[in-house]
Structure formats: C-alpha cells, structure tokens
Amino acid sequence: MAGVLGTSIKRREDPALITGRGKYTDDLLVEGMAHAAIVRSPYAHARIRGIDTSAAKTYPGVVAVLTARDVAAAGIPGMVPVGWLLPDLKTPAHPMIAADTVRHVGDAVAVVVAEDRYVARDAAERVAVDYEPLDAVADVVAALEDGAPTVHDDAPGNVAFDWEIGEKDPVDAAFAQAAHTVELDLRNNRLIPHAIEPRAALASYDSSTGVMTIHMTSQNPHVHRLLMTLASLGMPEHKVRIVAPEVGGGFGSKIHHYADEAIVGLCSLKLDRPVKWTATRTETNLTDAHGRDHSTHCAMAFDGDGRITGLRVDTKAAMGAYLSTFAPAVPTYLYGTLMSGQYDIPAIHCHVTGVFTHTAPVDAYRGAGRPEATFVVERLMHLAGEATGLGPIEVRKRNFVPADAFPYQTQVALAYDSGNYGPAMDRALEMIGYDDLCREQASRRGNGNGRRQMGIGFSSYIEACGLAPSAVVGSLGAQAGQWESADVRVHPTGSVTVYTGSSSHGQGHETTFSQIVADRLGVAPEAVEVIHGDTDLVQFGMGTYGSRSAAVGGSAIAGSVDKIIEKGKKIAAHLLEAAAEDLEYEDGSFRVAGSPDRALGLGDVALQAYLAHNYPDDLEPGLSATTFYDPANFTYPFGTHVCVVEVDTETGSIELLRYTAVDDVGNVINPMIVDGQLHGGLAQGIGQALWENAVYDDSGQLVSGSLMDYALPKIHNLIQFELDRTTTPCPHNPLGVKGVGEAGAIASPPAVVNAVVDALKPFGVTHIDMPLTPEKVWRAVNAD
C-alpha cells in the first residue's frame, strides 16, 4: 500500500497494553502452578559453610527447597555461560546456584518452591545459610590494586581480559608533535536498567512429552534456548520451548542468560509441575546486569590547525562478579571501535582492561559501549574547542569525516558506509538559535558571574548498530551469528503472516514490520499479522538488541516479500498467459506491462498458489518465503545534539532549558515510533548524566538498590525535546534504514555534561563526573 512506509500510523500493540489486556509472564496462570523465591546472598563475598533448609522445608505450603546439591544431583551442566570470547579471556565458572562461594550481593544460594509466592518468600527467610564473610572489592579501580580481594582464583589480579585496538606508536608520535593536547580522567557511572517489567519466568515441564516450556522475559528466545541447551539446563533444543509473551522493556537486560530462569526450569523439571518466579524490584536491581562502570584516562592531540592527530584511551571496565552473556564484547568491540566518532582521526589506540568486582555483572545496556565511547570522544572535543580556541562547533566541523570520503575506513576496524555530518549540525544550530544563546550567555557572564549561569553543550555522535555481519562478529569472538530471519506467508486469501526472529519487547515491531510488508506487498497493514517470540512458532532468530530490528529483521522481511513477488509473478504469468519478465507488481496486483487490464490481485494469485490446479509445471505450490538476512556491514546512524542548561551556582542545581536533537537514522518507517525511541533514549541518557547512579559501598552492598535512592528520570524532570532529522539512507540494506533504539542514550550524556561544564567555565570547571548531582556541581564551583 503506497504511502504507508514513513507514516506515523498508531501502534497496533497499544490498545491492549494500555488497557491492561496485554499478557506478560507474570499474568500467566497455569493449572498446578507453584511459586519460587530465590534465596540470595546478603554478602558481596563469602564462603558458604553450610545451608540448613529444614525450617524452610517444613514451613506450611512449601513444596521443595533446592540448593547447589540438587543441581548436581539432577545431572545437568548447571552453568551460566558467557557468549562472547576474547583472546586470553578468563572464563571462571558461574554455577547457576552457588555451591561454596558467593561473589555478589544477590548471588543465588537456594530456591524455595511453595504453593503461593507469599509463602515462598516467608520460607526463603527460613533458609539458614552459614556464611563466612570474606573481604570484597566493588570498585573497578580498587579491584586492580595490589592486595585487592580476589573475585576468582583463576583470574589473578581480577583481570578478566586485556584488550587493545589501533596502533600505539603512531599515537605516541602524534602526541610528541602535537600543537595542542587535551586529556581527561573520567568515570562512566554504573547504571541499573530498570525495565518496567521485572524479569520473570514460568517453567512448565511436561513429563509425558519430555518438553520443557519456559515463558520468560526475553529479548531473544532462541538465544536463550541455545544457551540453556549448551550450559545450564542441558536439555536438547527440540525439547525446550522458550516463549516471550508481552515483555515490558529490556534495554539489554533481557538479552542475557541469568541463573534465575534456569533455576526455575530446574524446579519444574524436578517437581514435574509448573513453577513461576517473578523478580521483585529489589531483586531486579541486585541481579539484572548493570551497564557502563568505566574508569578512563583519555587524551587527544591536535596540530596547529586544530586537526586531530591522535587519540589515546585507557579504560578499566567492570565486569562484575561473573561474565554475563555479551559482557566481554561491550567495552571492547562495541566501544574501542567507536573511538573515531564523526572524525577523521589518523591515529587511535584504545586499551581496555576487563575487571572482576564483587558486584552484579555488567553487560549490554541501551547503547552498550557506544555511549561510553561517545562520552570519551565528545568530552574531549569540548575540551579541544577550548584548548584550540576554535570553539565547540568549528573544532568539530574541521575534523568531520568529509561527505565525499565515504566509505570511510577508521583506524579502529569499522568502515563507515555513509554519512554527511555537517548538515545535521547546521540544522541543530539553526533550531537551537545558537547566536542568540551565545548573546544570552555572555550577558549572564558579564553580570558579575550571576547566580544563574547558562551553558550550551554539543554532542556529535556516531554509532554502529544493526548488529551485524555474522562473519565479522564471529571473527571478533561472538559465539553466535548476527543475521536475522523472516518467514513471510501469504495465505490463500491474500492476507499475510510474518514470522520474525526479532523479538519485540515494547518497540512496536508488530506495527513497523506490518508497514514494511504493506509497503512492499501492496496490502493494508491490517492484513499483516506479525508473530515473534516463540521458539516453537518461529524459525531460529537472533532477537532484538543493538538497534538491529529494522535494519536486520526488517531487511529479512523485505527479502522474503521480494521472493514472494518473484514467485507470484511466475504464477500470474502462467494464469495471464504472459512471460514472467513482462509482469510488474504494483499496489497489490500483478500486471502485464503495457496492458493494464491484464492483471491479477495478490489474493487471486495466492489462491491459485494453494489450489495449484492451473499452475506452472516447474513451480512448487504455496506462497511463502523464508530469508536469513546477514547484513554486509553495521549501520552508522549519526547526528548532533545540543543541550542548554541553567546552573544555580549557589546550590549546584541544574535545570534543562532546551534539548535539540538532529539525528540521521536513514529512511524512517514510522516517524512517531522513531521519535518515541529518541525520547526514551534521551530520557535515559539525560538520566545517566544528571541522576542515575548504582552505588556500592566498600563492603559491596548496593546502597542505591531501591527507587528511593536510585533516581530515574521522571516526567517533570524532563523538557519537551526538539527533534528533527536528516536522511542519509543506509546504502547496503534493502530498506535504507539504520537504527534508532539507542541513539538518544548514546548521544545525550556528553551533550548534557558539556553544557554544564560550559555554564561553569567562569568558575574554571573543566569536568564533573556523572551523575552531575547538585552537591558535585556545588563543590566544583567552590573548589579552589
């Protein structure tokens, strides 16, 4: 249907979700279902001397209490796996239930199954674990110091990996000859994902068939099934079915294979009855993989014209107590490879140390590596604007990869396929009214450095998303491919069902994927059903993360639709007694070129495809097609964001005044959904910059474990974002789309911090670590 692509049709998912009719895992009720509560370590590091389950077992309503012994007795592998390997990566064992040592607050030590969840909780408090507390280290820098407590004996010095990209010597040479240099020590604060739906699983083992069905909060059901088969439950894939019902957000936290879902599976297997577990918010905060947590030293060198000659980055990245599913990839291949930003940088070297700490694991969280890289590059560019005297705009423009230089090979592996960075920045400047802002700022500064200072911050970001060419990620250590699948079936009457391996958890796949089909196949979007999130219904697929659904999942759908049209042409040609080459497909009909009255609708052709009465000899019946689309490259969205803040220098409070974002995400399928993704990403990125912080104390207790202490952005903290787009289509996928899911979270933290630092320039402030709490700002203003 013409005009359906690129229009803001409403999300078909919403009526049910908004009116409470969506079925999430915790909404599912199954006959005979019992409830699990997981007993978790209150210590960051302790030896387990013994566990006495007797009081819990005899508590009325308790069905069973299982510990590590039961994992062993069940004869399953019982391990939580890591799915991305780096050279010399230390991969200490991560038992799904701790046997002798716990390594973070929240580590699972036992599980209680009871007739209801209240009883399960009550009984969990009666499991007596005899702990011998040990010294713990929660801080990524402290963990590398001599004499720091060791998280794993098989990872001496708490080093999980030592990784580098780029070449060091040319960078050293660039610094030796530099006209200007800037440098920065920074912390990228640890974040807790906070999907609105906590993780949950309902495992139903059917002993009559030997099939285990797990309904769970998953961004990638097939990946979960694969990892469970290989590492935790050890059941063969054809005997495991993973279903992701409605999933209430993930931001990466529901990619990973956690101990919990496997524990619930074990319970069901052992008890031969369905068992459900839903994390409390506290549990979620203690056990969901966190994001970020870097300590970084970085520096940039410039020649006399303000052109970048070198970039040096050294990062200590927390891994937490165990390696989560994609953890090793995040601060390496999703971070070091982004260090060129939008700039032509001739020499880059990035060194990263992965560090075990006695904390929750750290893994992919919205942006995953790219926000951290963007923060490094864009903070340095802000400082460079000052150091070179060029200011924030000229220093960026002077170093942009020129529009005629694409494809552009960076010094850190990635080859940018397309880009045009200047217009996005110009548009942002125009929207924000930059010259007026500068005048206003000057008048406030002139006014004896009045109490309310104003600052303007920029972030010109690039990201690599649409994960990703399988061969490339395979060569970098991924233990999975990164293609996506789509099975598109045209029914005999011409309506369509799409089976996609991309599993929605709030993004709106059902709407946008139906738009893709509607546009290409010339049917109404309402005639397209989109099925996802069930390993029994859908062919193998990789899931939703890394802003890949449209670029990879959508391209797979487009591929299948194209195959269907090709086949349809053959059928139509037979029926119309024309040559297939002479047929055109437009607006849902097959037409003989030049004879408009010789045409057949999709429904007519589909019906014949299934009747196969009057049919080409060399063609199989049916009208469906499957595509496994493996992209040729990442996609590279980019843009410029501008943030304007007011800082009350008396208290350090920050008020957002304006936020303008001009993004280039390629062709747009549904502008409303794209804007919504940006709004959400911006809220999270601004949240990281101003409020969010996962804080562990020295003993490894999470002191910001509840929403009373962990400050998520609230609607009244934010402002109306001003958005616009430039459009540079992706040259290598059939839709020309890139990705938008993470852009807001990637771009915004440095824009906000740059704005605050700019506001405080009269006070000599050059950096404040995130989150920029009023107290930190006040102390920076008042520092000598």
- The residues binding other proteins (CB under 8 A) are 117-118, 121-122, 125, 280-282, 650-651, 653, 690-691, 693, 695, 703-704, 706-712, 714, 717, 773-775, 778-779
Q: Which is nearer to other proteins, 368 or 772 (CB)?
A: 772
Closest approach of Cβ 215 to other proteins, in Å? 21
**Six token digits for residue 307:** 């052109």
Q: Which helix (H) or strand (E) holds 320?
A: strand 308-320
In 3-state terms the chain splits into helix, strand, coil percentages (rounded to 5) of 30, 25, 40
* Residue 552 and residue 481 in contact, taking contact as beta carbons nearer than 8 Å: no
- Separation between Cα atoms, residue 617 and residue 594, nearest integer Å: 26
Closest approach of Cβ 702 to other proteins, in Å? 11
Q: Which residues pair with 159 in a beta bridge?
A: 355
Closest approach of Cβ 691 to other proteins, in Å? 5
Closest approach of Cβ 710 to other proteins, in Å? 6
Q: Which is nearer to other proteins, 278 or 482 (CB)?
A: 278
Closest approach of Cβ 740 to other proteins, in Å? 27
Closest approach of Cβ 703 to other proteins, in Å? 6
Q: Which is nearer to other proteins, 93 or 703 (CB)?
A: 703
Closest approach of Cβ 712 to other proteins, in Å? 7
- Separation between Cα atoms, residue 228 and residue 241, nearest integer Å: 11
Q: Which is nearer to other proteins, 628 or 691 (CB)?
A: 691
Q: Which is nearer to other proteins, 260 or 675 (CB)?
A: 260
Q: Which is nearer to other proteins, 122 or 363 (CB)?
A: 122
* Residue 560 and residue 486 in contact, taking contact as beta carbons nearer than 8 Å: yes
* Residue 459 and residue 662 in contact, taking contact as beta carbons nearer than 8 Å: no
Main-chain phi, psi angles of 732, to 5 degrees: -115, 5
Q: Which is nearer to other proteins, 416 or 691 (CB)?
A: 691
Measured CA angle at 721 (ends 718, 723), to 5 deg: 160
Closest approach of Cβ 477 to other proteins, in Å? 36
Q: Which is nearer to other proteins, 8 or 282 (CB)?
A: 282
* Residue 366 and residue 251 in contact, taking contact as beta carbons nearer than 8 Å: yes
Closest approach of Cβ 752 to other proteins, in Å? 14
Q: Which residues pair with 108 in a beta bridge?
A: 40
Q: Which is nearer to other proteins, 665 or 694 (CB)?
A: 694
Rounded to the nearest 10 degrees, the angle between the axes of helix 671-690 and helix 743-759 is 40
Show the 3-state SS of 337-358: HHCCCCECCCCEEEEEEEEECC
Alpha-carbon separation of residue 61 from 58, 64, 726 (angstroms):
8, 9, 61
How many CA atoms lie within 13 Å of 467's alpha carbon, on the beta-carbon side?
Answer: 26
Cβ burial 328-346 (10 Å sphere, 16+ → b, else e): bbbbbbbbbbbbbbbbbbe
**Six token digits for residue 635:** 């996609």
Closest approach of Cβ 709 to other proteins, in Å? 5
Say if residue 407 is preceded by a cis peptide, omega within 30 of 0.
yes
Alpha-carbon separation of residue 16 from 361, 418, 596 (angstroms):
34, 39, 42
Closest approach of Cβ 114 to other proteins, in Å? 11
Q: How many helices (DSSP H) and strands (DSSP E) are in the chain?
A: 19, 28
Beta-carbon contacts of 353 under 8 Å, excluding residues fewer than 6 positions away, are 144, 159, 161, 162, 163, 315, 316, 317
Q: Which is nearer to other proteins, 469 or 687 (CB)?
A: 687
Q: Nearest to residue 699, comparing CAs of 137, 48, 49, 79?
A: 137
Closest approach of Cβ 265 to other proteins, in Å? 22
* Residue 159 and residue 355 in contact, taking contact as beta carbons nearer than 8 Å: yes
Q: Which is nearer to other proteins, 526 or 709 (CB)?
A: 709
- Separation between Cα atoms, residue 142 and residue 706, nearest integer Å: 25
Closest approach of Cβ 45 to other proteins, in Å? 21
Main-chain phi, psi angles of 131, to 5 degrees: -100, 145
Q: Which is nearer to other proteins, 536 or 775 (CB)?
A: 775
- Separation between Cα atoms, residue 238 and residue 241, nearest integer Å: 8
Closest approach of Cβ 70 to other proteins, in Å? 24
Q: Nearest to residue 65, comparing CAs of 22, 102, 120, 10?
A: 120
Closest approach of Cβ 423 to other proteins, in Å? 36
What does the CA dihedral 621, 623, 626, 632 come to, rounded to 10 degrees? 120
* Residue 528 and residue 509 in contact, taking contact as beta carbons nearer than 8 Å: no
Alpha-carbon separation of residue 106 from 122, 191, 213 (angstroms):
17, 16, 26
Q: Which is nearer to other proteins, 116 or 430 (CB)?
A: 116
Closest approach of Cβ 695 to other proteins, in Å? 5
Strand duo 180-188 + 200-206: pairing: unpaired
Q: Which is nearer to other proteins, 71 or 777 (CB)?
A: 777
Closest approach of Cβ 690 to other proteins, in Å? 8
Q: Which is nearer to other proteins, 26 or 534 (CB)?
A: 26
Alpha-carbon separation of residue 539 from 337, 486, 568 (angstroms):
32, 8, 23
Q: Which is nearer to other proteins, 118 or 394 (CB)?
A: 118
- Separation between Cα atoms, residue 678 and residue 567, nearest integer Å: 39
**Six token digits for residue 313:** 């980055």
Q: Which is nearer to other proteins, 445 or 776 (CB)?
A: 776
Q: Which is nearer to other proteins, 108 or 498 (CB)?
A: 108
Closest approach of Cβ 779 to other proteins, in Å? 8
